Chains A and B, each alone.
Chain A
Amino acid sequence: MCFPFLLLKLNDFIHYKLILLAPMIYCSSLINFVSMRNYLLFITLLGFLTGSINTYAKGTYQTPENFVSEAFKQQVPEPVIAWIKDDLRKQVEEILQHKSKIKRTRYWKKDSRTVWILEEVGKKKPITVGIIIDNNKITRLKVLVFRETRGWEVRYPFFTKQFNQLSLMSDNKLSKSIDGISGATLSVRALDKLARIALLLNMNIQQQENPQP
């Protein structure tokens, strides 16, 4: 079951919000128990209706296996181990702003493309993110698994597309700052860190493959 008004885009929402909130804001003196009850009933009805459409805030949006497979158009190369130690480890922990117990991670590489599956805690639980890097720039960042009840908005393409074409600066920050999502600060922070770590690890691989004389 899917009602047109449930498929709201921003413009629709402005209209929708006016219907819903304008009486609350401008006609407070008219609000009484009856209108309050109607408001609650309306919201409840909305809840039941939306329960029948395909919405999800937390859960697995795409399996890591599928993400990697898609990145290489089903021609998935063998995974490679990237070790995180010594100076690289220090840089990773500087980005994370806390200690890391992870000593290695796997990645996939073909030509100039590398693919990473990384995790970092948002508020309490890890967010799993897939990142594709081509020629030292992120070409895709996607939230694959989100496990918390707050901050789930970071999975939206309108947010993750900000990472496209970003590279890593010499101070290990992204080449352009990411606009956040109100109320999802910790999730935004986690994705920003993972993007930087993926770019850092990618750069480190290149330096190992092509050491400077």
Chain B
Amino acid sequence: MNISKTLIGASIAAALSASAAYAETTIGGYGELHYNNTHSDVKNEDKTEMDFHRFVLEFGHDFNEKIRFFSEVELEHALVKDTDDGSGPGELELEQAYIEMDLNDSSNLKAGIFLLPVGIINETHEPPAFYGVERNPVEKNIIPATWWEGGAMYSAYMDNGISYDLAIHTGLSDTTGSIRGAREKVAKAPADSLAYTARIKYTGVTGLELAGTVQYQSDFSQGLGTVGDAEDGTLIETHAIYTTGGLKLTALYASWDINFNGGTTTGKDAQNGSMVEASYKINSNWGVFARQNNWTNDDGATDKAQTDIGFNYWPHEDVVFKADYQMQNDDADDFDGFNLGVGYQF
């Protein structure tokens, strides 16, 4: 059994032998080491640390031409520590593990644990693929990326550049309506109340991507809510990416509308954010970017903002060194300073 992607990747084909053999089982992976050096005047606190934020191994296997398996195991923050209260620095996560079946040449069905089709970095987040040492805080705190659930998803691709996905899957679980902490990560996750996601995407002209996702969470409290607790909620997300030459412009907006039993004064019924980014790839090795992020998780009681500027250096197309400077407003805790990172994929 050939398990090396690099061994199969070198195929300049023998002419007219279009069905060049490819490995049935593949491995891949990516990872990133971060160094943060920031200071908050508001909190009178330094954040100076080095962290191997993500170490990911991917395993895939083709059972035949139409049925395949894909998985991704991630070690976050380098260490899973056996502590009495479970408070280790990191996590070992099964981020993807699904069976994918082609229904025909333009549609397929997934079943298992998969990344939800929402936002930009949720599905594509290998370090060489994006600017900035840390992922943008809007997708992290509003969507919340990286977000995976267990269930089934139907995906279809149309000849005019439109593709769409429909998914039924496990839902978030938090009676207070918090978003990021409500991910159960398919670990004995409550499945009393499911969620539904639909995305439509257009990539029919060079350099342009337009996409929109709607998701309905039927019950944040998973059947256990009482007065004052979160009930159903809807996420909408839309983004546009336009690339021409080295210039890339990105805009994203995401918003939650959550209903509470008897209403709420926490502001968690309206959580939203937007992100705009401009980047310029000077040549195949160097690129610069600037990004503005604004978000609120409490209906505007705190309006968080973060500005990032920096550059990427790719010594190889699959290896990247990154540096950026971040500036946060007081609502976002005022951590200003620089970040350095190195990342790879294979």
Contact = CB atoms under 8 A, between A and B. Distances in A.
Interface in B236-251: 236, 238, 241, 243-246
Interface string B138-162: 0000000000000000111111111
Interface in B89-136: 100, 102, 104-108, 124, 129
B5 interface: yes
Interface stretch (B8-16, B304-312, B335-343): B8-16
B22 A125 contact: yes
A6 interface: yes
A126 B17 CA distance: 12
A174 to B, nearest CB: 12
Q: Assign chain B's interface to a size class.
A: 35 or more
A197 B19 CA distance: 20
Interface string B13-39: 111101110100010100000000000
A167 B208 CA distance: 26
B216 interface: yes
Given A36-B214, A36-B234, A119-B20, A50 B245 contact: no
B18 A64 contact: yes
Given A25-B212, A25-B253, A43 B160 contact: no
A105 B164 contact: no
Interface in A170-188: 177, 179-185
A191 interface: no
A201 B207 CA distance: 29
Q: Assign chain A's interface to a size class.
A: 35 or more
A70 interface: no
B261 interface: no
Nearest to A177: B245
Contacts of A156: 161, 204
A119 B156 CA distance: 25
A180 B246 CA distance: 10
B166 interface: yes
Given A50-B158, A189-B317, A29 B257 contact: yes
Interface stretch (B170-178, B181-189, B194-202, B292-300): B194-202
- Give the top 6 A-B pairs by smallest Cβ distance, nearest first: A106-B15, A182-B209, A57-B157, A119-B13, A100-B10, A56-B105
A13 B162 CA distance: 9
A17 B100 CA distance: 28
A28 B13 contact: no
| Chain A residues touching B, majority SS | mixed
Nearest to A115: B15
Given A51-B156, A55-B106, A92-B12, A43 B317 contact: no
A105 B14 contact: yes
B316 interface: yes
A153 B15 contact: no
A24 to B, nearest CB: 5
Given A33-B216, A53-B159, A183 B209 contact: yes
Contact of A121 (B8, B206, B218, B236): B8
Interface string A32-55: 110010011001101100110111
A38 to B, nearest CB: 11
Interface string A108-148: 10000000111111001110100000000000000011010
Given A119-B20, A128-B18, A51 B9 contact: no
Given A10-B205, A149-B108, A180-B243, A40 B166 contact: yes
Given A56-B159, A102-B12, A144-B18, A182 B104 contact: no
A93 B10 CA distance: 8
B84 to A, nearest CB: 42
Contacts of A10: 204-205
A161 B243 CA distance: 17
Nearest to B242: A182
Nearest to B212: A21
